[in-house]
A and B are shown apart, each in its own frame.
Chain A
């Protein structure tokens, strides 16, 4: 594979309600920040890919609203509808094709502007499933219940994920929730969808993220520490829950195998230094450990207990605080990529994992890991 580099990233501070900024202003903030950081102007950007979703934005053709903000006037822009990890992949393809030297990727969401339960309910089948009240919360409860009862995962093990990620978020100035909580706090929080409690779930956040991609020839013009794409795998699970193995993320397993193969990874725990994953609820992170092959099936809880994924462990997962601390809907995937880029550039400041050379990103579309995107990145 030819090489495609991330040469700069910019994020807004993520907050519950950015009432003073429109979508366009959020995107403009990160794009301008990126320009200033790299010392470039809009003329240095060849093409733009955005990641957003009409239901989340409450607007048809939601990318219409950000043209001025992302600087795509008189340029080529395209929009991947869904998680922005997939938008990154399209942007990388544009660079790899050789037709553009630079591609800007931007994603935004303002969860505060819409009813997230209705938005997520409308992912489900309108005739048979929406009336059941299924949304991201109740679906997660179903999945967690099946997973925990099949493999004997405890509520404490799930709560440890939340305590870890929320603690990590304290070191991330961009994170939305920055308050340390204990395993006990999680266990004592009100029940939301059995067996998951309020603190097993992420907040809803507003914000935007941008990054610039370029080819091998131009990377050093922008930065001394470009971050290279080493592996990519994508796989989609069945739509109806009844058609899925709800206790195992089999589509993630296949996507990660493909990405590992491309990146030459045979022992992920040894070869990966840091991971940023889209964990939409506490036990989801445990299931993702299994899907990524960090441990055997049903061993996600034990793997959490081992402490390997803590900041001090062999494979820190979500030093940024993850989605349990910052949940910007469609921007989540690109935020994960931005955070891994910062880690591999050595610019992650207080949340830096020492000597991080290889990182993994997991981006997710839909409900309970239906659409899966695994990306492996490497520093120079």
Chain B
């Protein structure tokens, strides 16, 4: 058990779009920060420290926290720390915030993830993540490795069945996104045919199997048990966090089924007392950069046996109204502001617990999981609930 319980007491997110030409970077970030502060009815002076992150190379700004922390978040003469771990940046920030409070060092912290990809180049940045000698020629950018993983998945579990399931994921998530005012791609009338006839990007990934590139920011305010009481009577409590990292070289091991999701989820399920995730969790916000990822990730998270996610989809288990709705927000397939993406998963999980999801609310959600994915196949998880206690 941590020394202090950690609660989410305020949330803000911008509207996510491919181009936010109406705002510059600090204005965009402040939009989310202001919303989170108003949500918690707090001012900057009330918050002890700021944790902020994006990916440096994407916008080409070194030590971006020293600029955005001051000029966008207003944390002048306060502690500012930057966490940057690629796709997991948002979840690494979310988890770092947890330890800032759990350790007793701070009582209240602001956690901010952001990205303005139209002012830089995500793929240019991602290419340099890979080893210059061994990996860059074959695994450049994000799509190469993800297509490779999808390909292995398809050949293992049946090409046609997997392609159809992948398209079903896109239809589910993009139509869920239509219920989320913040989501970038809102497609209420999308069909599997539309997805399966879209342009081939990198076999077997078609255009609509891939996440978009979004601009936006997400901000969350955390507080310990004493402070949380003063701020709201309806916080979302952390029941646990978990991270699993992996080899430097993505191809050093089988990679299609995300072994880190299995390691991290076993750890957090044990900590939180979850026996059957489909029964015990009420909602999950997972980080699916492609449609195929949702198939493999959910299997690795233990929602079903390997190769069986298509059946879960067919049975409607992960649809809105199912036993375990996955990505009511529309997920990463609908919205992907990289440094904020994983923090949006944590925020959306908290929104569900607080019962503030509006049209995307899962009724009576009491236990929610948020997931981050990134780096060389890393997984980060949080489980939030109505109280900080384990289920059993």
Interface residues on A, range: 35 or more
CB distance from B7 to the nearest CB of A (A): 15
B61 on interface, CB distance cutoff 8 Å: yes
Contact call A61/B55, Cβ cutoff below 8 A: yes
Contact call B3/A58, Cβ cutoff below 8 A: no
A77 to B246, CA, bound (A): 9
Binds B, one of A30-38, A122-130, A142-150, A270-278: A122-130
A118 and chain B: residue at smallest CB distance? B62
Contact call A67/B76, Cβ cutoff below 8 A: no
B178 on interface, CB distance cutoff 8 Å: no
Contact call A78/B77, Cβ cutoff below 8 A: no
CB distance from A212 to the nearest CB of B (A): 17
From the candidates A58, A238, A251, A366, name the one contacting B128 in the complex (CB within 8 A).
A58
B157 on interface, CB distance cutoff 8 Å: no
Contact call A96/B66, Cβ cutoff below 8 A: no
Contact call A63/B55, Cβ cutoff below 8 A: no
A58 to B263, CA, bound (A): 30
- B235-263 contacts to A, CB under 8 A, are 242-249, 260, 263
A246 to B249, CA, bound (A): 45
From the candidates B1, B49, B65, name the one contacting A82 in the complex (CB within 8 A).
B65
B192 on interface, CB distance cutoff 8 Å: no
A190 to B122, CA, bound (A): 42
A333 to B212, CA, bound (A): 38
B102 on interface, CB distance cutoff 8 Å: yes
B331 on interface, CB distance cutoff 8 Å: no
Binds A, one of B15-23, B80-88, B276-284, B346-354: B80-88
Given contacts A123-B62, A370-B66, whether A80 and B103 have CB atoms under 8 Å apart is no
CB distance from A131 to the nearest CB of B (A): 14
Given contacts A74-B246, A79-B85, A98-B2, whether A123 and B66 have CB atoms under 8 Å apart is yes
Q: Which residues of A contact B246 (CB under 8 A)?
A: 67, 73-74
Q: Which residues of B contact A64 (CB under 8 A)?
A: 86, 129, 248, 375-376
Contact call B66/A366, Cβ cutoff below 8 A: yes
B56 on interface, CB distance cutoff 8 Å: yes
- B269-319 contacts to A, CB under 8 A, are none
CB distance from B106 to the nearest CB of A (A): 9
A343 on interface, CB distance cutoff 8 Å: no
A96 and chain B: residue at smallest CB distance? B103
Given contacts A81-B56, A93-B103, A236-B75, whether A74 and B244 have CB atoms under 8 Å apart is yes
Q: Which residues of A contact B53 (CB under 8 A)?
A: 81
A14 to B337, CA, bound (A): 39
Chain B, residues 79-120, CB within 8 Å of chain A (1/0): the string is: 111111110000010011001101111000000000000000
B71 on interface, CB distance cutoff 8 Å: yes
From the candidates A60, A81, A123, name the one contacting B125 in the complex (CB within 8 A).
A60
Q: Which residues of A contact B105 (CB under 8 A)?
A: 89, 93, 96, 232
Contact call B78/A235, Cβ cutoff below 8 A: yes
A19 on interface, CB distance cutoff 8 Å: no
CB distance from B45 to the nearest CB of A (A): 14
Contact call A126/B84, Cβ cutoff below 8 A: no
CB distance from A107 to the nearest CB of B (A): 14
A68 and chain B: residue at smallest CB distance? B248
A347 on interface, CB distance cutoff 8 Å: no
B60 on interface, CB distance cutoff 8 Å: yes
B386 on interface, CB distance cutoff 8 Å: no
From the candidates B104, B245, B375, name the one contacting A75 in the complex (CB within 8 A).
B245
Contact call A94/B243, Cβ cutoff below 8 A: no
Contact call A53/B102, Cβ cutoff below 8 A: no
Given contacts A78-B96, A94-B103, whether A365 and B55 have CB atoms under 8 Å apart is no
Contact call A77/B245, Cβ cutoff below 8 A: yes
B72 and chain A: residue at smallest CB distance? A239
A95 and chain B: residue at smallest CB distance? B103
Contact call A67/B248, Cβ cutoff below 8 A: yes
Q: Which residues of A contact B126 (CB under 8 A)?
A: 60
Contact call A54/B84, Cβ cutoff below 8 A: yes
A123 to B69, CA, bound (A): 13
B385 on interface, CB distance cutoff 8 Å: no
A119 on interface, CB distance cutoff 8 Å: yes
A138 to B184, CA, bound (A): 43
A234 on interface, CB distance cutoff 8 Å: yes
Q: Which residues of B contact A232 (CB under 8 A)?
A: 105
A72 on interface, CB distance cutoff 8 Å: yes
B194 on interface, CB distance cutoff 8 Å: no
Contact call A254/B77, Cβ cutoff below 8 A: yes
B47 on interface, CB distance cutoff 8 Å: no
From the candidates B67, B103, B131, B242, name the one contacting A76 in the complex (CB within 8 A).
B242
A366 to B69, CA, bound (A): 12
A99 to B105, CA, bound (A): 15
Contact call A237/B77, Cβ cutoff below 8 A: yes
Given contacts A234-B79, A235-B77, whether A74 and B66 have CB atoms under 8 Å apart is no
A76 to B243, CA, bound (A): 5
A86 on interface, CB distance cutoff 8 Å: yes
Contact call A73/B65, Cβ cutoff below 8 A: no
A250 to B76, CA, bound (A): 11
B10 on interface, CB distance cutoff 8 Å: no
A232 and chain B: residue at smallest CB distance? B105
Contact call B49/A97, Cβ cutoff below 8 A: no
A301 on interface, CB distance cutoff 8 Å: no
Contact call A73/B92, Cβ cutoff below 8 A: no
Contact call A365/B63, Cβ cutoff below 8 A: yes
Q: Which residues of B contact A254 (CB under 8 A)?
A: 77
A81 to B65, CA, bound (A): 9
Q: Which residues of A contact B55 (CB under 8 A)?
A: 54, 60-61
Contact call A365/B66, Cβ cutoff below 8 A: yes
A97 and chain B: residue at smallest CB distance? B102
Contact call B102/A82, Cβ cutoff below 8 A: no
Given contacts A234-B49, A235-B77, A236-B77, whether A65 and B103 have CB atoms under 8 Å apart is no
Given contacts A79-B83, A93-B105, whether A65 and B2 have CB atoms under 8 Å apart is no
Given contacts A93-B99, A93-B103, 17 further A-B contacts (CB under 8 A): A2-B3, A24-B248, A65-B131, A66-B248, A78-B243, A93-B105, A94-B99, A96-B103, A97-B4, A97-B99, A98-B1, A99-B99, A122-B61, A123-B63, A236-B75, A236-B76, A366-B63
**Top 3 closest pairs, chain A to chain B, by CB:** A76-B243, A61-B86, A234-B79
Would you mind naming 20 contact pairs between A and B with Cβ atoms under 8 Å apart? A54-B56, A59-B129, A60-B127, A65-B131, A66-B248, A76-B244, A77-B243, A78-B95, A80-B81, A81-B56, A82-B65, A90-B99, A93-B99, A96-B104, A98-B2, A122-B60, A126-B61, A250-B77, A366-B66, A370-B66
